[in-house]
Amino acid sequence: MSDTATDWLEGPKADIRLISATTAVGDLETIPLGLEVRLDDGWKTYWRSPGDAGIPPHVEWENSGNLETAAFLWPAPVRFNYYDLETFGYEKQVVFPINAHLRKVGEAVSLRARVDLLICDDVCIPHTFNATLDLPAGPANPSEFANMIDRYQNQVPGDGSRAGLIFEGADVSGTNANPLIRTAFRADTPFLTPDLLVEGSGDVVFSKPDFEFLEGGRVVLASVTAEDIFGEGAPVDLESDPLVFTLIDGARSIEASALPLANGLAHVDTGSLAITTLLSIMALALVGGLILNLMPCVLPVISIKLLSVVSHGGGDPKEVRLGFLATTAGIIVSFLALASLAVGVKSAGLAVGWGIQFQQPIFVVALVVILTLFAANMWGLFEVRLPGKVSDVAVAAGNKSSLGGQFFQGAFATILATPCTAPFLGTSIGFALSRGAVEIYSIFLALGFGMASPFILVALFPVLATKLPRPGPWMNGLKKFLSLALIATAVWLLTVMAVQVSVEAAVTVAVLMAAIFALFALRNRVPERTGRMLGAGVFAAAIISFVVPTALPALGIGVRDQSQIAALDEAWIPFDQAAIPGLVAQGNVVFVDVTAEWCITCQVNKKRVLETEAVNDIFTRGDVVLMRADWTKPSDTIARYLASFSRFGIPFNVIYGPESPRGVVLPELLSSNAVFGGLTEAGLTTAVAEK
- DSSP assigned state of 5: B
Helix ranges, 206-316 (H): 275-292, 299-311
Cα-based torsion angle of the residue sequence 652, 656, 661, 663 in order, rounded to the nearest 10 degrees: -20
Look at 22 and 229; give whichever has higher pLDDT.
22
Q: How far lies 220's CA from each of 78, 158, 214, in Å?
A: 19, 18, 6
pLDDT at 497 (0 to 100)? 82
pLDDT tens profile 376-418 = 877 777 543 433 444 444 444 444 456 777 787 778 777 766 6
- Strand residues in 21-92 grouped as ranges (E): 30-39, 44-51, 58-60, 67-72, 78-82, 85-91
What is the predicted pLDDT for the residue at 393? 45
Rounded Cα–Cα distance for residues 18 and 110 (Å): 12
Q: What percentage of the chain carries pLDDT values higher than 90? A: 28
DSSP 148: H
In this predicted model, which residue has the larger pLDDT, 646 or 437? 437
The burial of 586, by beta-carbon neighbours within 10 Å (0-12 exposed, 13-18 middle, 19 or more buried), is given as: exposed
Per-residue pLDDT, 179 = 86
Instruction: Report, as an integer, the average pLDDT of 320-333.
Output: 87
Q: Which of the given ranges, 61-75, 345-359, 483-497, 518-532, has the highest pLDDT on average?
A: 61-75
Instruction: Give the residue-averaged pLDDT of 300-307.
Output: 60
Cβ neighbours, 10 Å, residue 441:
17
Task: Measure the CA–CA gap between 351 and 81, rounded to whole angstroms.
Answer: 11
List the beta strands (DSSP E) in 121-189. 124-135, 165-174, 179-187
Q: How far apart are the first and last CA of the chain?
A: 45
Q: What is the pLDDT of residue 273?
A: 42
The confidence score (pLDDT) of residue 91 equals 93
Please say whether the beta carbons of 120 and 83 come within 8 A.
Answer: no
pLDDT at position 346 is 66
What's the pLDDT band for 454 if we cut at 50, 70, 90? Answer: confident
For residue 569, what pLDDT is reported?
A: 59
Q: At residue 282, what is the residue type?
A: M
Stretch among 476-485, 490-499, 676-685 having the lowest mean pLDDT:
476-485
Q: With a cut of 70, say whether residue 347 has pLDDT above it.
A: no
Per DSSP bridges, beta strands 44-51 and 30-39 are unpaired
Q: In whole angstroms, what is the distance from residue 271 CA to residue 169 CA? A: 16
Query: In degrees, to the nearest 5, what angle opens at C-alpha 208 toward C-alphas 205 and 213?
Result: 135
Sequence-distant (6+) residues with CB within 8 A of 406 are 308, 322, 323, 324, 326, 327, 330, 400
Query: In the prediction, which pLDDT does 398 show?
Result: 43
Assess whether pLDDT exceeds 80 at residue 137: yes
Specify whether the CB–CB gap between 482 and 307 falls below 8 A: yes
DSSP letter string over 333-376?
A: HHHHHHHHHHHHHHHTT----TTGGGGSHHHHHHHHHHHHHHHH
pLDDT of the residue at 389: 44
pLDDT at residue 349 above 60?
A: no
Give the domain ranges of the chain.
Answer: 9-153, 165-258, 276-554, 565-690
Spatial contact of 457 and 464, defined as CB atoms under 8 Å apart: yes
Superfamily of domain 565-690: Glutaredoxin (3.40.30.10)
- β-sheet bridge partners, residue 109: 135
Contacts of 561 (CB under 8 A, 6+ apart): none
Q: 43 or 370: which carries more pLDDT confidence?
A: 43
Instruction: Report pLDDT for 551.
Output: 82
Q: Report the chain's mean pLDDT, rounded to a whole number.
A: 81
DSSP 175: -
User: Comparing 215 with 423, which gets the higher pLDDT?
Assistant: 215
Domain 165-258 in the same topology as domain 9-153:
yes
Counting DSSP H helices and E strands in the chain, the numbers are 20, 24
The string of pLDDT tens digits covering residues 603-623 is 878 888 998 888 988 898 888
Among 255-259, 290-294, 539-543, name the one with the lowest average pLDDT. Answer: 290-294
Report the pLDDT value the prediction gives residue 46, as an integer from 0 to 100: 95
Looking at 168-172, 177-181, 300-304, 426-430, which range is the least confident one?
300-304
SS3 401: coil
SS3 label, residue 281: helix
Most confident range (mean pLDDT) of 34-38, 50-54, 214-218 is 34-38
CATH H-level superfamily of 165-258? Immunoglobulins (2.60.40.10)
Name the least confident of 135-139, 295-299, 647-651: 295-299
CATH no. of 9-153: 2.60.40.1250
Query: Would the pLDDT of 579 be above 50?
Result: yes
Q: Residue 670 in 3-state DSSP?
A: coil
Position 684 scores a pLDDT of: 81
- pTM metric for this prediction: 0.47
Q: What residues form DSSP beta bridges with 80?
A: 87
Is the pLDDT score of 421 beyond 80?
A: no
| Residues 498, 495: Cα–Cα separation, whole Å | 5
- What's the Cα-to-Cα distance from 13 to each of 9, 81, 118, 177, rounded to whole Å? 11, 20, 10, 41
